[in-house]
Amino acid sequence: MAANTSTIPHGFKCSAIASALTLALGASVTSQAMADETNQTQIERIQVHGEQNIGRNALGSADALLKDQGVDFSEAGGVSALPVLNGMMGDRIKVLVDGADITASCANQMNPPLSYVSANQISSVEVVAGVSPVSAGGDNIAGVIKVNSLNPKFNDSDNLSFESGEISSGYRSTSDAFLLGAKAGIASKDLSFSYQGAYEDANSYHDGHGDKVLDTLYRAQNHALTAAWRDDTQQLAIKLTHQAIPFQGFPNQYMDMTDNKSYGALVRYLRDLDNDGEFSAQLNWHSVKHEMGFFTPEKTGKMPMNTEGSDYSYQLHWRLPMGDNSTLLVGQEYYNYQLDDTWPAVPGTMMAPNDYININDGERRRAAVYGEWQQNLTPLWWLSAGVRYEYVTTDTGEVQAYSNMPMMGMPNVDAEAAKAFNAMDRSRDDNLIDATLLARYQLSAKQQLEFGLARKNRAPNLYERYSWGRGVMATTMIGWYGDGNGYVGNPDLKPETAHTLSAAYKFNGDEWQFSTTAWYSAVTDYIDAEVIGSFNRTGLASGKRNILKFTNEDANLYGAKFSVNYLLANTDSGKWQMQGKLDITRGERDEGNEPLYQIKPLQTELALSHQLGDWENRLSWQWVATKDKVDDRRLENETDSYSLLNLSSSIKWQELSLTFAINNLFDTYYELPLGGVNLAEFKADSTGGFSQVAGSGRSFELGASYKF
């Protein structure tokens, strides 16, 4: 029984989604499931259905949907923000799109997995933070985000007939953004064909002072075709995808995206093994050609960078009932990622006469097996234990600098670095062993305790290991942190190993719902950075940046989440509810207790919601504390506290849905705590130093969708 999000109070729902153990155990948060003790032998997963969030998230990037489910984001381009879970971002989170593992093929991670799917294409998401079961995915230490858009629909007809369709549109005033979405499908009882598409075009947005936040414009489109067949015991689905992003500005990077074209194919087979369980098999392929450079007067320059990446993978999974209310999950998976990253020469400049070869025939392969045992020990106790093993190998070919000649009478540090890199043995292999133990205890029909303990691992990515350049220009092209610093790879990096403990308590009464989760992660060989140099392109003290080398250090991250929902009234005037949330996250290095980079400050939210039939309204107040725990190595900025007031309303009439929202109602100026520095503004006027990227000012947002 999947939880219907239309019945879950918003504040309680967000906390539940954010709760590591709630999701890891797949416990239902609906009052029906909590009250019905006969259902306690069923293990359930919370699924957040994007189609039911028509008030705000029917269109746009996928992160717009995930933010409501407790996922934070390190802001970047308009559709390429990097997710953050438990204070960790990027590759530390395993993002699976329809079960496929897509790798960011860019030195700045401008094309992360979530950028390849739009909100209107998503049928459900699952967020498993921290203590994620080994069956959910490996090669991560922060958690797993599963985004599902492959959802074939069949009917009872012997002949193909039109199944459903939907057209959506939207507008945002702060960036003059225009959004479109479309869906259509035909089906019979054994065949299904569908199309999903989305288009988005936006100018650079304005902050609370009315100033343009330079280089935040973008344009993107995603398309997907699905065909499926089924009979009484099996189902076969094929999905083809295409994405085109002709441009996307990145205010916190030195470069911009000037083109991103991708194609993907997925084949999924499901079979019911009668009384012997279920079997699933999946083949995935995804290929991208990515270009960086400059395209707008808001950030000018000339430096092309071309990247080509391909992901190939398969997964074999079995779910086997073992009797005595127990289930065995076993699986075998294989992933192969290939990468070429070349920066074409620019004749007449120092970026010549050679092409700069950053990653040459890079390869990252993973082979994994896992086993997971789930059992209802008693009507009140549920237990899950699992072990996963992965063998990871990486390698890359020889590289070259733009030139082998001395630079202005000085040694050519890039040429020397390339020579040393080519002379070394670049092949590396890692053995990763994950283990999880999860438990749930039903205190009563309304109360639940959950516990989890996990050892999780992540091997370094190709850029962390093989970015070899040492010059200022070369190093500043590497890094997805938005901090303006330069980065150097380290072939001898060890995998990160996180030991995580999590505990949660939930109460679900008739009028009150309360949820709290606390977690702690001790990370051995956390991939951080050490300062090996500095540079300053301005001569002003405020223009200093560092050159850093990836290195292993030990770190600790911990936090807590609180969520409460109270039913104020349920009368003829409608259903009135109050929701509150509080989120605390901390992260420190073991050595000197120095703060880690991009750890968000204390954040709270208080909301009043009203529902009368198909008319829904929401007024929310968000407060974010001062960010004063910053990473000095990366010269991270502090940010002031701020509060935002947001208003939204939606109504559904037959097949037509209309939405209206005013975000940042009072046009407050604020800086994004996880937004990085504004390099576009620094390039336009360096006298102000590296200021933080500002958030969006007041935005009037309209949306409409029609189903047919």
Single out the residue of 107, 19, 169, 331 nearest to residue 659, CA to CA: 169
How do residues 643-682 score in pLDDT, each as one tens digit?
999 999 999 999 999 999 999 999 999 999 999 999 999 9
Confidence of residue 331 (pLDDT cuts 50, 70, 90): very high
How do residues 95-105 score in pLDDT, each as one tens digit?
999 999 999 99
pLDDT higher at 3 or 612:
612
Asked if 661 contacts 701 with a C-beta cutoff of 8 angstroms, the reply is yes
Single out the residue of 460, 475, 477, 306 nearest to residue 396, CA to CA: 460
Q: Is the pLDDT of residue 624 over 80?
A: yes
Q: Is the pLDDT of residue 510 over 50?
A: yes
Query: To which H or E segment does residue 417 belong?
Result: helix 413-423
Where b means 16+ CB within 10 Å and e means fewer, 591-617 reads eeebbbbbbbbbbbbbbebbbeeeebb
Q: How far apart are the first and last CA of the chain?
A: 27
Question: Is 470 among the domain residues?
Answer: yes
**pLDDT for the residue 554:** 98
Nearest-angstrom CA–CA distance, 414 and 470: 5
- To the question of pTM greater than 0.75 for the whole model, the response is yes
Question: Is 155 among the domain residues?
Answer: no
Q: Is the pLDDT of residue 173 over 60?
A: yes
Nearest-angstrom CA–CA distance, 170 and 158: 37
Question: Is 248 among the domain residues?
Answer: yes
Q: DSSP class of residue 123?
A: S
Question: Is 156 among the domain residues?
Answer: no
For residues 437-445, give the mean pLDDT.
97
Alpha helices, DSSP H only, in 257-358?
A: none
How do residues 334-346 score in pLDDT, each as one tens digit?
999 999 999 999 9
How do residues 311-325 score in pLDDT, each as one tens digit?
999 999 999 999 889
Radius of gyration of the chain (CA): 25
Domains in the chain: how many in total? 1
pLDDT higher at 366 or 75:
366
Question: Is 491 among the domain residues?
Answer: yes
Asked if 698 contacts 644 with a C-beta cutoff of 8 angstroms, the reply is no
Q: The CATH number of the domain where 620 resides is what? A: 2.40.170.20
Asked if 265 contacts 239 with a C-beta cutoff of 8 angstroms, the reply is yes
Instruction: Compute the residue count for the chain.
Output: 708
For residues 98-116, give the mean pLDDT.
97
Q: Phi/psi of residue 685, each to 5°?
A: -155, 100
Question: Is 566 among the domain residues?
Answer: yes
Alpha helices, DSSP H only, in 348-396?
A: none
Domain range spanning residue 646? 5-150+161-707
Nearest-angstrom CA–CA distance, 220 and 234: 36
Which residues are within 8 A (CB) of 268 and not within 5 positions of it... i.e. 6 or more apart? 98, 99, 150, 235, 236, 237, 238, 239, 280, 281, 282
Question: Is 92 among the domain residues?
Answer: yes
Question: Is 621 among the domain residues?
Answer: yes
